[in-house]
Structure formats: structure tokens, C-alpha cells
Chain A
């Protein structure tokens, strides 16, 4: 049997015996074969000594069992690492941040406690996936939408507390922002409810977020201060109609005005669906079309266009722009979506066109004008998550396709936040493409467009492949870290990352001699004095391991 570092075999055997008494023999895993299932399938340290692995796994089925598991871990000083559905692929999967942890697998806690249609919220446990919640809503014919990311098997809670996002309207696609109320097992085993949930008779736990006094929910995201066992989410009432449109602009210099106009429209809620900026002239698709490109191949380009693609700097050449003007291929194409009553979304689209008409040469197109709900058998005609429908189509990234006959083993997401301006897109491409070329990294090789998941900033979400070859993985790991550092030098930081990069990322958040990191450690020491919960998650180490890690 494997043993966690700094825990005696006798103590570990006692802890395992108590875990078994708590959750049942069947739900404690200690064999190598069973623990292999807790490896990060997309680990960039695949099959290398540094790969993070578990010493055991325990799968409680209730909050009370989680509390008891935590108390046992405290008694024997056994480090735990909590996962929800374990499908955080590209950001660490189901493996611990610190090798030797006992993984607390919350997948069996898969209860949908409530879906309230009249006030549009849900209360769920961590093992509930987007598929589960969607199927439940469909089975019960409830008129609410979920916000989901591309991989539908992820945890509604897990993605929210790793601060992930989806593709519906602005106030629902930021999954942590759309939560309302948490239940948390603290490292002591004590149970805490946040917001209105702290009032024993409150009927408003999922209706008012902050309660009174310090609002602490944020510290339980991307951290190791507790195990979230329930969480409420605001859902979007099913809209009556969906309008998907594009705005095409002909000149390179239109990028700045495009972003400024988008910002005005989005921050005024004239458009609130997921905005998606493509560059047809640069051969760069909107994210919403990416899965289609992976499945059926990218659109065919003329030889002249291909030649022009090979000869531009930062996505620009005068010849390329002239080619676009001649052929009608847009430099920039902004995809916008509107949700609501048909007469409302039509009016929003009219106002949007009026604003963009100030840019010379702007062209407008309606792609979809749809009464909702759509026929579920037609869902694949769309990028499903933009309609609140979960799928696994995004796994065409990296999978074998006619256009990519050599599949990868997985990927790690490079995902820095940059300012929401046209100038920042060009500057980030200048900096990252030079660095990626020097590092021989397969990123930023073309002019790369950021995504608009978050309302007030841009984010790049770029898949760096994981391969079967350790030498290639080493080069990509080191290049990945270097890109993080280069971004940091320009004020750009990752929004989320896998455990193997969490220290590098958090080192970038260094204002005032790493005051933020030191505050995280102060909290850790106060909340988890024995340092048993998810040591090292987001580079927050308990006192007894801190010096060893630095």
C-alpha cells in the first residue's frame, strides 16, 4: 500500500480502516490499479517521477461522511485532496496537487436537491454534472437553462469553484459569479453555510448572495480552505428566441473600434450573449465554429489567400487587406447573440447595427433567427453550450480527425487574461508570438484571437498538447512556464491553471512582495492548522510544507 509523506504506515493503516468504516469498504481505494484511475490523464508529467499521484481515494456519499473523513484525516495528519467529478482535464484532472494525498472523490454526491423554476435557481451537490442537471431539467420540462462549458461531464460546482465559464448570457456564463450560497465542510470537520444560509430559518439561501458581514464565498474557490458540499446557482429563464448575427469589418485598423463598440453594447446589456471575434482574412475561426472546423475541416482557401497567410506580421499586410477588400473576406467578424422575446432581440440587433454602422464598410448578417426551445434533435446544428445544452463535441480538439490524423494524449490550457482593447490583442500577439517562436511552442503561430467569456476583459484559451514523448512534454512544460512569466512581465496573468503550473502562475501575482500569496498563507494557517486539506492547491501550502516547496 502507498503511504502519504510524513505519515507512518501504522497511522495510515488506521486512517484507511476508519475511512472504510465511514464510507464502506467498497468506496475506499488503495490498489495501484484503482489509484491509476485518479491520475491526471492529461498530465504533462505523464509517466515521469514528478507526476502527482494519490496514496488512496475515498468516496463519501453525504456531507456527514465528508465531515467524518476530514476529522479522521486531522487525527492522523493525512493529507486530503478533494475532487468533484474529476474531469477538470487540462487543468489537473482528478490528481492531487501534492503527491501522496488521499483523494476525496465526491462523484457519489450526485444529488440535485432542488430546481426552482419560478425563481430560477438550482441547489446541487458536487458530483452533479452539467449532463445530469440538463437531463433533470428536460425530464421535468422545466423552463430554465443551465450555463455550461464545452465538456458536459464536468461538475457544476467544480467548474464554478475553479472559476470556469460557459457560453450563455453574461450574467450566467461566469459560473462562480452566478452562484448563490455555499455549504462547506471546513478542515476541522465543522459545517458552514454562507450568505443567507447562515440564518437557520432563511428561505433565501439561493435568492440573496451575500447575507450580512464579510462575504467569504470567494475564498473557497481556487483554494484549499474547505470542501464545498452544496452550492446554489441562478439559472436563466428559457428565452423565447435566439438571434445569432455577425458584424464584418474590412480593415485591420477596425479592430480597435470593434472592441470599443462591443464593450459599449455589452456593458449596456444591448447584447449579452457570448461575443466571439473571428478573423476570416487571417484564417481564424470564431470559437463557436471551432468544433465544426475540427469535425469537417476548415473552409477551403484559395492559393492566393494561403500565400498571403504565410507572409504577414501580426496578422497584417497591405496585400492581405487589399485581397480582403477585393474578395469581400472580412478582416474581423464579430459574432453576437441575443436572447429574449423576438421583438426585443430584433430591436437590440437594430441598435447594434446602428452603432457599428459608424465604422465604414461594416456589413451585417443574421445567421440564426430561432424560436425557442429548439428541437433537441437539431441541437448539433449549433454550438450547443451557447443554447445551454451540454455535449462532448469539444473533444474533437486533440482527437483523431480527417484533418488531424495524429491524436494527442491530452492538452494543458494556456489562458491569460489581457485588457479588452484592440491594441491589447495586437500587443499580446506581438509578445507571445515572439516568445513562442523562441521557445518552439505550438502556440501563437498565427494571429490568435482571444475569447470574450468575461465581460470586461479578454482571455486567450489555447491548448498546448500533451504527448507520449517525455522530451516533447518537457519542452512544452518549460515553454509553458516561460510564457506565464513573459505574460506576467506585461501584466497578464492566467485565470486558472493545472497544479504543476500553479506556483509559477501565483508568483506572477506579486504586488507588494507577494502580499496576496502571504495573505492566502495566513488564512491557511488559521483555517487548517494541521494542513490536511489539498496542500499546494493554487500554491497555498500549509506551514509544515511551505519551506520545502519554495
Chain B
């Protein structure tokens, strides 16, 4: 592959050839964050926010709003009683049209960080 990259770079001096350190780009993973809170937030932003951020354009938020009818917020980040164990269960088992996430997508370590992040408002029992 390195040969191909060099070749492509030589092909056009004007080309904007983007190759990051180590030749290739990979997504930032939770373990890249030393701070567990930031690690959990990174997992949430990458995997959960497209469905669960604020607004009806997010199917997860729309679904939770209808399901809980004001008893709980539609936006997952606003829940005050989300248990880490519940986060882990739903991520690994799915619910409704939300399919489970495999360990190659969200590793156990990343799931720990995510569960802590999403349950950060929940008082300890």
C-alpha cells in the first residue's frame, strides 16, 4: 500500500493528497482519551448521537419522547436516572428497530465509558 500512496503522490504535485501519520486515517477510539468522561462522550458522539441527539430529526429521541410522554426526557443525555447496566443491556441487545452493537463497533472498554457517561446524572444507590 505504501507504494501505491507514493505513486499517487507523485502523480500530481497539485493533488491534495491527505495521508495522516501512519499512512492512513482511522476513527478516534475511546481508549485514545485519557479522561474517562471524554472517552464516554466520544463513544456517544460517534455511535449514539445520530439517533439520540435533540430534535425530532433523531428517531431515537422521537421514539423516547412518545414512549415516556413527559415522564422522562426524549433526549437520552437529559435522563437523571439512567443506570449504567441498562445502557449496557440495550447496546448489546438492541430495542425496537435499534440493532445491537458488536464488540468490533463498541468494545467492552468503550461500553464501560459510554455507560458511565450516560449515567453521570444518576445518583449512586
Is there a chain B Cβ closer than 8 Å to A36's Cβ?
yes
Which one, B36-44, B48-56, B76-84, is touching chain A? Answer: B48-56
Q: A291-B57, A392-B50 are in contact. List 19 more A-B contacts (CB 8 A).
A: A36-B93, A37-B101, A42-B99, A57-B102, A89-B99, A94-B102, A108-B104, A111-B24, A111-B25, A113-B4, A114-B19, A132-B27, A203-B7, A295-B57, A393-B59, A398-B96, A399-B96, A400-B62, A409-B97
Contact B1 A113 (CB under 8 A): yes
Is there a chain B Cβ closer than 8 Å to A248's Cβ?
no
Closest Cβ of chain A to B120, distance in Å, is: 24
Interface residues of B in 8-49 (CB under 8 A from A): 8, 10-12, 14-19, 23-27, 46
Q: Say which residue of A38, A119, A152 sits within 8 Å of B50 (CB atoms).
A: A152
Contact B57 A393 (CB under 8 A): yes
Cross-chain pairs A/B with CB under 8 angstroms, 27 sampled: A37-B103, A41-B99, A41-B100, A57-B102, A93-B99, A94-B102, A110-B26, A111-B24, A112-B24, A113-B5, A117-B16, A118-B12, A119-B15, A127-B104, A131-B46, A142-B18, A203-B7, A206-B8, A291-B57, A295-B62, A395-B51, A396-B59, A399-B62, A399-B97, A400-B96, A408-B96, A408-B97
Report the bound CA distance from A342 to B62 in whole Å: 37
Contact B18 A118 (CB under 8 A): no
Q: Which residues of B contact A118 (CB under 8 A)?
A: 12, 14-16
Contact B96 A407 (CB under 8 A): yes
Interface residues of A in 13-32 (CB under 8 A from B): 27, 29
Contact B12 A110 (CB under 8 A): no
Interface residues of B in 54-96 (CB under 8 A from A): 55-60, 62-63, 66-67, 92-94, 96
Interface string of A380-397 (1 = CB under 8 A from B): 100000000001110111
Sorting the interface of chain B by its residue count into under 10, 10 to 19, 20 to 34 or 35 or more gives: 35 or more
Q: Say which residue of B25, B50, B67, B100 sits within 8 Å of A112 (CB atoms).
A: B25
Q: Which residues of A contact B56 (CB under 8 A)?
A: 295-296
Q: Say which residue of B10, B11, B59, B93 sits within 8 Å of A399 (CB atoms).
A: B59
Report the bound CA distance from A274 to B24 in whole Å: 32
Interface residues of B in 96-113 (CB under 8 A from A): 96-105
Contact B7 A116 (CB under 8 A): no
